[in-house]
């Protein structure tokens, strides 16, 4: 019975985490959703700025703290080890959903492209950002990153094995293609309002601050391989000359 409950829990966490990403496509792209990032403002500018900053700090603290090894060790005293990653995905999905629900549009258009070709190109870049982000999770192991592999193995009463250190696909070009995707999709907007600009800037800043912490953890798990990987492969911007790296993994 316990194995079944953990499996259902993992599936629900996955659905919430994935659902928040799907909703964000419409929220950032100003399509389908009733209230997007570029909607008309409903609060004074200063109030909106304070609320938005608080929401982003909330997400940043949740995401960074829960990703650290010390927190994972503490969390597994409360939840089964097989459900630790699912719990992280659940909390991240909830944090992202809260951010989108309460994020305040701020008016003020910074740029707006009206040329049809330009709009289509920018929308294509927006889609490319999502393709890079989602695709990078699959070339590693999407189901391990989102906790499904862990709960499935425990359901089948099989031991969990850590994935080997490897560099599939885009990980041969940059060390953090998932973050590259985030940055691209955050900035690719034919209409850039102040609220959208703030989100993109905060996202970029957070990624640049989070990478050293993530890489410190990776070096502790793979001290020789990851240091070699750092030396041979750029962090976010591919080298024009190319070059082949040996192996990488992303937390």
d(CA 50, CA 99): 13
Tens digit of each residue's pLDDT (9 = 90 or more) over 3-30: 999 999 999 999 999 999 999 999 999 9
8 Å CB contact between 217 and 251: yes
Closest listed residue to residue 7, CA positions, set 156, 152, 158, 157: 152
What pLDDT, in 10s, does the model give residues 99-133?
999 999 998 999 999 999 999 999 999 999 999 99
Digit-coded pLDDT (tens) for 219-237: 888 888 898 999 999 999 9
Q: CB neighbours of 26 closer than 8 A, spacing ≥ 6?
A: 32, 33, 36
First to last CA, the chain: 30
Cα–Cα distance measured from residue 72 to residue 59, given in angstroms and rounded to the nearest whole number: 17
Percentage of residues in the chain having pLDDT higher than 90: 84
- The conformation of residue 117, written as its DSSP 8-state character, comes to H
């Amino acid at each position: 019975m316990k194995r079944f409950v953990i499996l259902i829990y993992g599936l629900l966490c996955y659905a919430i985490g994935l659902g928040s990403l799907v909703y964000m496509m419409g929220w950032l792209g100003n399509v389908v959703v009733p209230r997007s990032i570029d909607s008309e403002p409903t609060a004074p500018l200063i109030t909106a700025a304070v609320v938005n900053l608080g929401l982003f700090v909330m997400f940043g603290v949740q995401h960074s703290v829960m990703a650290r090894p010390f927190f994972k060790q503490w969390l597994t005293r409360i939840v089964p080890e097989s459900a630790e990653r699912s719990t992280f995905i659940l909390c991240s999905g909830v944090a992202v959903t809260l951010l989108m629900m309460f994020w305040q549009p701020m008016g003020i258009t910074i740029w707006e492209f009206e040329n049809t070709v330009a709009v289509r190109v920018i929308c294509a870049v927006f889609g490319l950002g999502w393709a890079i982000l989602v695709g990078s999770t699959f070339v590693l192991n999407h189901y391990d990153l989102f906790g499904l592999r862990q709960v499935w193995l425990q359901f089948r009463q099989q031991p969990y094995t850590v994935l080997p250190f490897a560099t599939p696909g885009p990980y041969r070009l940059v060390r953090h293609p998932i973050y590259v995707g985030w940055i691209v999709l955050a900035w690719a907007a034919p209409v850039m309002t102040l609220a959208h600009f703030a989100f993109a800037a905060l996202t970029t800043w957070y990624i640049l601050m989070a990478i050293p912490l993530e890489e410190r953890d990776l070096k502790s798990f793979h001290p020789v391989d990851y240091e070699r990987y750092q030396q041979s492969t750029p962090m976010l911007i591919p080298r024009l000359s190319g070059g082949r790296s040996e192996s990488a993994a992303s937390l």
